[in-house]
Structure 1
Amino acid sequence: MSKAYVFTRFGGPEVETFLDQDPPEPGPGQLLVAVRAAGVNPVDWKLRAGKRRPGSPPAEFPEVLGSEVAGVVEAVGSDVVGGAGVGDGSDFAVGDAVFGNPDTGGYAEYTLLPASLTAHKPAGLSFTEAAALPVAAATAYDGLRQLDLPTGATLLITGVGGGVGVAAAQLARHLGVRVVGTASEGKRAFVESLGAVHVPPGPGLADRVRAAAPGGRVDAVFDLVGGEDLVAAASLLPDPRGKLITAAAKETVAELGGAAVARARTREVLDAVARLAVDGVLRPQVTATYPLERAGEALRAVEDGHARGKVVIEVGA
């Protein structure tokens, strides 16, 4: 039997529980992976609360929580080995260390990963570090490619202290982009360690950003919080088209003339962020780890909004 942390209906933390279940069987294009680590993200509790993407298939309860993992391949679907059905010639075999976005949830001892959204884990990354990449780092990478800012530009990142924000700040600095980031006062030192200028969120945000930004202006906004801070940030841009993106509030950003982050969701992006991590450009910034038995505490740390960087659940040896 395999242990998994699930939610049994839409709702709050009260709908979460542990279940013992048989490991899933890999179908065409899938890998059965023994999970070694699972990243924790805001999307996890949002899905539990019923906030699903338009067009998503209906939930089938119980549903395992978690959207990014790293682990070891235990079995492969019939059309995976040799690249058949994958399209890029990459092989996956039993025993391979991999990371990616699971089909069947990540807070579990075993899960299924689609081969198309799975990459080989570099030897230079631990399982814990690799599990922090498929959602947060990949979202940051996609967003910065979408903004396509020149060297010397200034980027405002709202909510810079979370997983996506810390990755975006590091990648932007690597590209020669100056970063101003909003985060609570308690995260000031952490934000500044990323090479970003810290600005507290809340009322008066636009004025504080103007005072902190070089030349009193920003060239683009990468929003990770939505709400009034997104509206205030948008007011800093003369023309938000192409320079205002969000990973938190798609409807609001559209009303403001911006766009949601266009996620590529490819193995190529996973390989790219892994290389950046191995090269030291991108530090996964895992600031807290929990065993699977404390998965609920790990999710609370992210859901409460106080976590710095990435929270990861460590599952297997």
Structure 2
Amino acid sequence: MPRAYVFTRHGGPEAATFLDVPRPAPGAGQLLIAVRATGVNPADWKRREGLRGPGEPEPRFPVVFGREAAGVVEEVGPDVTGFAVGDEVLGYPVDGSYAEYAVLPAAAAARKPAAVSWTDAATLPVAAGTAYDGIRQLSLPRGATLLVNGVGGGVGTAAAQIARHEGLTVIGTASEGKKDFVESLGAVHVASGPGVADRVRAAAPDGVDAVYDLVGGEPLREVAPLLTDRSRLISGADRKLVAELGGSTVIRPRNTEVLEAVAALVAEGVLDPYVTRVFPFAEADRALAAVEEGHSRGKTVIEFAG
């Protein structure tokens, strides 16, 4: 039977284990893929601890970790057009992706360009997709100034690059240790921590036109007053607080069009997902622990033998 890394109850790392699971079958409008790589995200361990999105039902255990994957199509379900067995694809899994096989909705999958590696492709649905959707949502004109609050992680790294490609000036908050990395993205580094709003004002004396928050909590609360127009405040990290502050969450279409767009940016050399750590599937527990520790730079990926 195929192997998967799952959590069997809500809790800490002790709630997770490797299990043999039945090979899934694609339903109508779905693809079954042999997974070649899957991205690791903070949402993975937060979900294990019991975090659920609005309206998301209580999970049925065991739950397979993972929300993004790249792999080879093994089976095509009924009513699917545009995909065939053997296609190399990326997308959002129906029931997790830390597994040898995963099911993707065809409407939330895209072909992987030959120029894009498996490990890069596996990071695009969540990190690059969220970054792309947020930049589109803000719809800033060329020359505008964007503050990315928490620029050093996977979403922030992609958001900075996409924004720079669209002619925006980017200011990014991150720890002092990430200063060189942030500047390598073409962004102006501002040290995170108490007093960050004053440091942003010093770095952008003419003000900022929008804030893309990826931290939430007190850091979000501190930078929100930088904007008089709170419609230009979005967060991918704190749905409740951003609403209280007059902003909104990032709207995620999660469709083929977005995946094709971010994959094309990687293939063209515009976007580097900055995959900094790659673990074999047998060490999925270590990969998740590395992300759960925080302070990550770029993306962590789990790779499967092809």
| TM-score (norm: length of structure 1) | 0.95
Distance 1:232 1:78 in 2: 50
Match of 1:179 in 2: 170
Distance 1:93 1:263 in 2: 26
Q: Report whether the alignment pairs 1:163 with 2:154.
A: yes
Distance 2:288 2:151 in 1: 19
Find 2:228's aligned residue among 220, 223, 238.
Answer: 238
1:82-103 Cα offsets, whole Å, 9 max, x none, are: x2xxxxxxx1111110000001
Q: Is the 8 A contact 1:101 1:134 kept in 2?
A: yes
Give the drift of 1:311: 0.6
Distance 2:233 2:28 in 1: 39
Residue 235 of structure 1 aligns to a residue in which SS?
Answer: helix
1:27-56 Cα offsets, whole Å, 9 max, x none, are: 111111000000011111111111111111
Distance 2:2 2:191 in 1: 44
Paired amino acid for 1:49: E
Distance 2:209 2:200 in 1: 12
What are the equivalent positions in structure 2 for 1:21-100 lying under 5 Å apart? Answer: 21-80=21-80, 83=81, 91-100=82-91
Give the drift of 1:216: 4.4
Match of 1:297 in 2: 286
What are the equivalent positions in structure 2 for 1:119-268 lying under 5 Å apart? Answer: 119-213=110-204, 215-240=205-230, 242-268=231-257
Deviates more, 1:298-307 or 1:118-127: 298-307
1:201-235 Cα offsets, whole Å, 9 max, x none, are: 1110110111112x341111000000111011101
Paired amino acid for 2:111: H
Paired amino acid for 1:92: F
Residue 226 of structure 2 aligns to a residue in which SS?
Answer: coil
Give the drift of 1:22: 2.0
Match of 2:302 in 1: 313
Give the drift of 1:14: 1.2
Q: Report whether the alignment pairs 1:8 with 2:21.
A: no
Matched positions, count? 306
Aligned residues with identical type, % of pairs: 64
Structure 1: give runs of 5+ residues left out of the alignment: 84-90
Deviates more, 1:291-300 or 1:161-170: 291-300
Structure 2: give runs of 5+ residues left out of the alignment: none
Give the drift of 1:316: 2.4
Paired amino acid for 1:233: V
1:113-140 Cα offsets, whole Å, 9 max, x none, are: 1111111111111111100100110101
Distance 1:196 1:184 in 2: 14
Structure 1 residues 14 and 216, CA, compared in 2 at 3 Å: closer, same or farther? farther
Distance 1:61 1:141 in 2: 32
Distance 2:273 2:22 in 1: 32
Residue 263 of structure 1 aligns to a residue in which SS?
Answer: coil
Distance 1:258 1:239 in 2: 9
Distance 1:143 1:156 in 2: 12
Paired amino acid for 1:71: G
1:296-317 Cα offsets, whole Å, 9 max, x none, are: 1111221111211111100122
Q: Is the 8 A contact 1:244 1:259 kept in 2?
A: yes
Give the drift of 1:76: 1.2
Match of 2:93 in 1: 102
Give the drift of 1:57: 2.9
Distance 1:156 1:120 in 2: 32
Distance 1:282 1:46 in 2: 27
